[in-house]
Chains A and B, each alone.
Chain A
Amino acid sequence: MGIDLPVIWALIIAFGLMMYVVMDGFDLGIGILFPFIHDRIDRDTMMNTVAPVWDGNETWLVLGGAALMGAFPLAYSVLLSALYLPLFFMLVGLILRGVAFEFRFKADEAHRPIWDKAFISGSYLATFCQGVAIGAFINGFSLSGTTYTGGGLDWLTPFSVFTGIGLITAYALLGSTWLIMKTEGALQSRFKSMTRPITLAVLIAIAIVSLWTPAEHRDIAARWFSFPNIIVFSPVPVLVVITTFAIQHVIKKETHAAPFFFALLLLFLGYTGLAISLWPNIIPPSISIREAAAPPQSMGFILVSALFVIPFILGYTAMSYYVFRGKVKAGESYH
């Protein structure tokens, strides 16, 4: 067969996960920024900016999980069981905030603060756990052949805790720049002033991860710092620095969409850096996408459905973002 199924599926899943990270990233970011905004009307406005789209964003997470099982069953089984607790608490967080999201609008004044707390804690918990999972993924898993031999708490390391916190700052940046785009007046000014320190924090987090990772993993260091890779890959860190300064620069003036798109670019660069470090491994440190791939009969079977359905999902997603474009004004009701 002329088509390389494992690579195609790796790209589809990587694309799905990136869609998830950028899209659920900004709506989780809203939950992360919630504690800093106290006014009820402001909180309603924040939630209304994502109300039409947030559950569609989580679509990508389910799709990622199912496609991983279909295309790379070995990776699905090893990664999910090795990351059992962080993924479990991520799901707890996502359920809490999802339900809080819907019921908050249907609750009366007395019950609303409870749902607010559930929304905040769910957002922090889900984000932190995703970050921890990424950190543990970079660290790799103890394997004997294709079997996971590590313990139930192997994922918990100083590095993974740091990536957990790092992801909270990254989602906070997506959230605050999203809100700059979607709000106006005094509320928008507040997010502008918040965005400055958050951007700085994200830059520091990226820098620390970029140094910590090669320091602990010799093969990753070799990939980045050997010649000619060091030149080929150098645009990634350079662009990270430029993008950060671009955000700091544009929020000094009248701006709406620009900071959000720079923040997306920043996340995309981080994601690219991760891909450069780990490719072609799907279970670091040693199992590649080819070794973990399902038989071609399985990959081909779902490729047909995926190629039929994914364009529809993309089209629908684009349409709902287009329909709900523009500013959300305070007091616009949810229903």
Chain B
Amino acid sequence: MFGLTALELARIQFGFTISFHIIFPAITIGLASYLTVLEGLWLWKKDVVYLELYRFWSQIFAVTFAMGVVSGLVMAYQFGTNWSHYSAFAGSITGPLLTNEVLTAFFLEAGFLGVMLFGWKKVGPGLHFFSTMMVATGTLISATWILASNSWMQTPQGFEIIDGRVVPVDWLKVIFNPSFPYRLVHMTVAAYLATALIVGASGAWHLLKKRDTPAVRTMLSMAMWMVLIVAPVQIAVGDAHGLMTREHQPAKIAAIEGHWQNQPGASVPLILFGWPDMTAETTRYALEVPHLGSLVLTHSWNGQIAGLKDFAPEDRPDSTIVFWTFRVMVGLGFLMVLLGFWSLWVRWHKVLFESRNFLRFALIMGPAGLIAILAGWMTTEIGRQPWVVYGVMRTSDAVSNHSALELSVTLILFIVLYTAVFGTGIRYLLKLVAKGPGPLDGHFPEPSPETGRPARPLSAVPDRLDTPIILGSERR
């Protein structure tokens, strides 16, 4: 297909299915913690607004969780079907880490999700709050296992290679590998930030539509505090992540910066924009800021970083792609900081809920967190190339021996299926968000005692899928 090789098609297929998947857990991680905060505030302040918001966002959580489970099913098989040589080589490390993730997720689903979604009238407020906290903790533990597995592929340690296979020697070293703490914090904060932007955007949308209720105001306000505090934190975390990467994966940093070679004794400029050309070994149309590269990457005025030419051509990641995915992520990050400070400004002037320009900006920024997450993952994964386990196994040695034809057919079917299935799901989510938090009518989703009908994620949402929601007329 399009002259792509089987390896490229396998990579596109994995990238496509995992990109679709990551969106849902990211929202789940953020919302679970947000719900914990909302329930805590409700128990503490007894303000019904928090309960309304809890009910509203727990519906979104339920749908997102269900879609995460469905798209995750595919991921459990991709490593074996498409990357069989990788699985045979390193499955003894990746396998147990992913098995633990699955077990954690099921433990959580089995025990506490049901109570959280349907147990309002069955258990006391303390136990219900505990369940919500356990669900939030569970999402974080799941993320920990997945990121330990990914980080080990980026900065592997704690293993030996015996008879051509990886054997774990020290699990603590495997899990707490050098990039793991940075990646865990960076991704968790990213999930929180992305969720805050979604919550904020939905609040802004309702205010722009003149649906000004205490619940809508509260969610916009909470989200903007979160963005104000967390967006700058994320930039600091990202900076630390970058310094770690410079040490352990210098080729990735060189590709991200489009930096080809050092002049003796000269500082490294920061290339704001440009077009890295892999064949000409130069970055065209570069717009440079002198010394800034040294400052950012080495925290010194004249420090140097490795250039791409320090690495053999077959060991270089594709600079053209990661140069840009990185800039998309960072650019969005700075826009998030801007949104945070703008919110502080309008809050100061007591027009947080009225300033239409601010609200429009908050609305546009709704998907920014998710886009930044995808761009960030592309940067780190494509930047790891040509290695699947950095410095240990090449991606070209990891791929299964499927033909380009097979992979083209399955890729096209994946695209069609995902568009249909998750397109419907996302449309449905947007409808739920558009409906907004409603006043409590004393009704919580629960399995009705007479019929004993189901207690599962999607039963938490009452809306019919194809009924158009007439905006504004629903509520009063």
B110 touches A316 (CB 8 A): yes
B453 touches A52 (CB 8 A): yes
In the complex, what residues of B have CB within 8 A of residue A77's CB? 80, 84-88, 91
Name A63's contact: one of B77, B102, B167 (CB within 8 Å).
B102
Tell me whether A91 and B111 are in contact in the complex, defined as CB-CB below 8 angstroms, given that A69-B91, A69-B94, A74-B88 are known contacts.
no
A84 touches B402 (CB 8 A): yes
B107 touches A312 (CB 8 A): yes
Please give me the residue from chain A that is nearest to B72 by CB atom: A62
Name A66's contact: one of B102, B406, B462 (CB within 8 Å).
B102
Name B406's contact: one of A84, A106, A323, A332 (CB within 8 Å).
A84
A142 CA to B316 CA in the complex, in Å? Answer: 36
Give the number of chain A interface residues (Cβ < 8 Å).
Answer: 69
B406 touches A52 (CB 8 A): no
A72 CA to B459 CA in the complex, in Å? Answer: 37
Which residues from 228 to 270 on chain A have a C-beta closer than 8 Å to any C-beta of chain B?
A: none
Give the number of chain B interface residues (Cβ < 8 Å).
Answer: 68
B106 touches A81 (CB 8 A): no
A102 touches B81 (CB 8 A): no
**Which of B74, B84, B452 has the most C-beta atoms of chain A within 10 angstroms of its own C-beta?**
B84
A332 touches B453 (CB 8 A): yes
A81 touches B453 (CB 8 A): no
Which residues from 286 to 325 on chain A have a C-beta closer than 8 Å to any C-beta of chain B?
A: 294-295, 297-298, 301-302, 305-306, 308-310, 312-313, 316-317, 320, 323-324
Name B84's contact: one of A68, A78, A110 (CB within 8 Å).
A78
A46-89 vs B, Cβ < 8 Å mask (1 yes, 0 no): 00100110010011011101111111011011111101110110
A317 CA to B111 CA in the complex, in Å? Answer: 11
B456 touches A66 (CB 8 A): no
Name A298's contact: one of B96, B107, B454 (CB within 8 Å).
B96
In the complex, what residues of B have CB within 8 A of residue A302's CB? 95-96, 99-100, 103
Tell me whether A71 and B95 are in contact in the complex, defined as CB-CB below 8 angstroms, given that A65-B80, A81-B400, A95-B73 are known contacts.
yes
A52 CA to B413 CA in the complex, in Å? Answer: 30
A207 within 8 A of B: no
A21 within 8 A of B: no
In the complex, what residues of B have CB within 8 A of residue A294's CB? 91-92, 95-96
B98 within 8 A of A: yes
Secondary structure call for the A interface: helix
Which residues of B are in contact with A by a Cβ distance under 8 Å?
66, 69-70, 72-74, 76-77, 79-82, 84-88, 90-96, 98-104, 106-107, 109-111, 162, 167-169, 171, 400-403, 406, 410, 413, 417, 421, 424-425, 428, 447, 451-456, 458-459, 462-467
CB<8 Å pairs between A and B, sample of 15? A73-B88, A74-B88, A76-B88, A77-B88, A80-B80, A80-B87, A85-B410, A88-B413, A106-B465, A107-B465, A301-B168, A309-B107, A313-B106, A324-B454, A334-B459
Which residues of A are in contact with B by a Cβ distance under 8 Å?
48, 51-52, 55, 58-59, 61-63, 65-71, 73-74, 76-81, 83-85, 87-88, 91-92, 94-96, 98-99, 102-103, 106-108, 110-111, 146, 148, 152, 294-295, 297-298, 301-302, 305-306, 308-310, 312-313, 316-317, 320, 323-324, 326, 332-335
**20 new A-B pairs (CB below 8 Å) besides A80-B87, A294-B91?**
A62-B72, A66-B101, A69-B95, A73-B95, A74-B88, A76-B91, A84-B410, A85-B410, A91-B77, A102-B458, A103-B465, A108-B464, A108-B467, A298-B95, A298-B96, A301-B96, A302-B103, A309-B107, A316-B111, A326-B452
